[in-house]
Amino acid sequence: MDENKINPIPANEPEEEQIVPADEVKVEENAEVSEEVAEEVTADEVTVAENAEESEVVAEDEPADEVAVKENAEESEEFAEEATADEVENETTEETPAPKKKKSKGAVALLVILVALLLAATAFFVSVIVKSTAGSRIDHEEIAVTVGEDEITVGEYLYWFAYVDAYYYNYYSYYYSQIPESQIKDDTLNQLSHTSALYNQAVKAGYTLSEEDKAQIDENMNAYTQAAEASSVPVDDYVAKNFGKGYTLDMLRTYLEKQAVAYKYYEDMLTGIQDDFKASDVEDKVEKAYKANKVTYDLANVTYCYFDATDENAQKNANTVIAKVKDGMSFADAVKAVTGDDEAISDSLSGLSKEAITANFNKEAADWIFETDAEDAYVNGKDAVKSVEAGGVVYVLYVNDAPARNSFIPVSIDYVKITPSSDDSIKSAAELKLQAKSKATSLFAEFEKTGKSAEDFAKFEEDANADVSGLVKAFTYEDTLADGSHDAEVEKWMSEEGRKEGDYALVEGKDGAYYIVYMMGISEKPVWYQSVYNSLLEAELKAWEDEFIASYEDKIVADEEVINNAVAAFKQIAAQNAG
C-alpha cells in the first residue's frame, strides 16, 4: 500500500498477498549491470530509471543467486508497479541504521539490455547438488539462432536460457510451474540477440577486454573450479553435469567474454549520450519541458476531513463545512463547528502529484486540484474546498495553495541519534533527558577530536551502532528533503542558509532526543529540475535504444526445433541433478 494512501477506517485484517499471473511475469535486468553508468539522481549525475512509467528499485546488496534479469520494459506494464517521477519525489525515507557509507547507485535499463556478468548465474549453478553421474548428450556446436551474420550455438543459447530460467525460479518460485516455457525462451532470445548485436558493434569499434576485465572473469570462473573441487570431480565434468556432455569451462568463459565486451560497448554508448545531453542547452530544455507539462511535475498540499458515507447526514455535513469555509471561517474551525471534534482533521498530505491525488481520493479530486485555473481558484481560500465521495467515504478537501513545482533541494545527511531512556523507575524523565544530553555531548566531543571528514563520521557511526544500550543509533539518508521526514529541529538545521557539505552540529530535537548531524552532500538543483532533467535524458536514451533494436530485430532467425531439443535435454539434466 502507498505510504501516503488514506485509510480512514483502520483495517484489522492484513492485506492479501497479490499473486501475479504467470503470463504477466516479466524478466528484469540486473541492477548491478549499470552501476558505473548510472549515477546519483542529480542534474549533473543522473540516475536513469529503466522506464519513465515503470521503475523498480533493485537492492544493491542482492545475493548473487538472486540477481535480476530485465526484459523489455514495454512488455511489463501489467506487472511493474508504476512509480512516476513525482511519486518518487514524495517518498518518505524511513529511519534505518546505517553503519556503513554507500554511494547511491541505480540501473540504466531501457527495453532489452544486458544482464549481469556470469557471477550471478555461477552462484545459481554451483548451488545445484549434482547427483547424476553423466549429463545428457547435447550438440553444443549446433547453430540455434543467427543474428545477422552472428551464429549463436546451442551452448551459448543454453548459457542464456539457464540464466533466465534461474531468475524465474528464484524470484517467482511460488508459481514457477505456471510460467510457460515459451515465455522463458522468448526472454532468452531477447537477451542473447541484444548482446549479440552489441558485441558485433563493439568488435567493429575495436573493443577488447582489459586486464581488469580478464581478472574479473577469472574470478567468476574460479567459482566453478572451487565447486568442482568441493565435489571431488574435474571442473569440466562438473560443468557438463549442469549443461550436458561436452560443455566445458572454456565454453562458459567464451560466452562471458563476449558478454563483457558487449557490456563495455553498451556502457560507453549510454555514457556518451549522457555527456552529449549535459553539453547541450539543458537549462532551457528543462524549463520549456516543465512549462509544457506542469501537471506532470507540480505537487499539491491537501488538508481533509471525512464522513462515513453510510451516515445519511454525511453529505449534509460536508456541505456545511464547505459553506462555512466560503464564508471566511478557517477549515479547522469549520470542521470543529460541524463535528465538535478537534481531531476530525487528518494530518495534511503534502507534495502529492496528480496521480497520487487520484490514488488517495479519486480522479474528480485530482482534476479539480490540478486543472482549475489557479488565478481564480486559490485566492484567500475561496473555491479551494470541495467534497468528493470515494471508497465509502465523503471527503472534504481543502487546498491551501495552487499546485507548484517542488523547489526543495535534496541533501544527504547522516546522524547519530541519542534517545533518553524511558525507564523512569530509578530516575525522573528530566534526569534521563539530562543523562542523554550528557552522553550526546560526550560523543560529540569525541567526534571533534577526529579529522571531521565524511569518512571520520562514517567510522564514528560504526562505533555508535556498537552501543549495547539501544539508545544510540546511526542513520543515513541520501537525497532526502526537509519535508517532515525528520525531526523539526534537524530539518531546520538542514535548511539553514549557507549550509554546506562537511557541516556538522549537535542538535536538540523537538522529540526530546539529541542528534549529531553531518551534512554529506547537497544537490545543485531542486527536485523538480532533477525530475524533468531525468525524463528528458531518459527520452534520449530510449530513442537510441529503439533505433539500435530496430537495426537488428528483423535479422533474428531462431531454429525452433534445435532450441526445443536443447531445452528438453537441459531440463532432463536439471531434473536428474535435482534428484
Q: Tell me the residue length of the chain.
A: 579
Residue 127, classed as helix, strand or coil, is: coil
Cell 540486473 sits on residue: 30
pLDDT, residue 344, reads 63
Which has the higher per-residue pLDDT, 152 or 55? Answer: 152
What cell numbers appear for 132 in the block? 547424476
pLDDT, residue 378, reads 52
Residue 345's pLDDT band (cuts 50, 70, 90): low
Query: How would you class 45 by CB atoms within 10 Å of its CB: exposed for 0-12, middle for 13-18, buried for 19 or more?
Result: middle
Whether the CB-CB separation of 184 and 149 falls below 8 Å is answered with no
| Interatomic CA distance for residues 479 and 42, integer angstroms | 9
Residue 313, classed as helix, strand or coil, is: coil
Which has the higher per-residue pLDDT, 467 or 65? Answer: 467
Comparing C-alpha atoms, which of 474, 484, 515 is closest to residue 92?
484
Which has the higher per-residue pLDDT, 452 or 168? Answer: 452
Q: Does 330 score more than 70 pLDDT?
A: yes
| Interatomic CA distance for residues 210 and 522, integer angstroms | 35
Whether the CB-CB separation of 245 and 566 falls below 8 Å is answered with no
Residue 350's pLDDT band (cuts 50, 70, 90): confident
Cell 547438488 sits on residue: 129
| Amino acid in position 213 | D
pLDDT in tens, 428-437: 888 889 999 9
Q: Does 232 score more than 80 pLDDT?
A: yes
| Interatomic CA distance for residues 487 and 473, integer angstroms | 15
Gap between the terminal Cα atoms of the chain: 40
Cell 508497479 sits on residue: 81
User: What is the edge-to-edge ordering of all strands in the sheet holding 472-480?
Assistant: 472-480, 411-418, 514-522, 504-508
Which has the higher per-residue pLDDT, 24 or 279? Answer: 279
Domains of the chain: 22-90+105-280+543-578 (no CATH), 299-399 (3.10.50), 411-522 (3.10.50)
pLDDT average, residue stretch 304-315: 92
pLDDT, residue 239, reads 85
Rg (C-alpha) for the chain, rounded Å, is 29
pLDDT, residue 373, reads 55
pLDDT, residue 428, reads 85
Residue 371's pLDDT band (cuts 50, 70, 90): confident
pLDDT, residue 245, reads 83
Q: Does 130 score more than 70 pLDDT?
A: no
Contact partners, residue 370, CB within 8 Å, separation at least 6: 295, 298, 300, 354, 357, 403
Q: What HEC string does 232-267 produce?
A: CCCHHHHHHHHHCECCCHHHHHHHHHHHHHHHHHHH
pLDDT average, residue stretch 220-229: 87
Q: What HEC string does 476-505 produce?
A: EEEEECCCCCCCHHHHHHHHCCCCCCCCEE
Backbone angles phi, psi at 75, to 5 degrees: -90, -5
| Interatomic CA distance for residues 22 and 42, integer angstroms | 37
Q: How far is CA 407 from CA 27, 92, 172, 534, in A?
A: 36, 16, 40, 16
| Interatomic CA distance for residues 98 and 400, integer angstroms | 37
Whether the CB-CB separation of 92 and 350 falls below 8 Å is answered with no
What cell numbers appear for 141 in the block? 556446436
Which has the higher per-residue pLDDT, 340 or 323? Answer: 323
Instruction: Tell me which DSSP letter residue 145 carries.
Output: E
Whether the CB-CB separation of 118 and 242 falls below 8 Å is answered with no
Residue 300, classed as helix, strand or coil, is: strand
| Amino acid in position 531 | S
- The dihedral through the CA atoms of 309, 314, 316, 318 has a sign that is negative
Residue 134's pLDDT band (cuts 50, 70, 90): very low
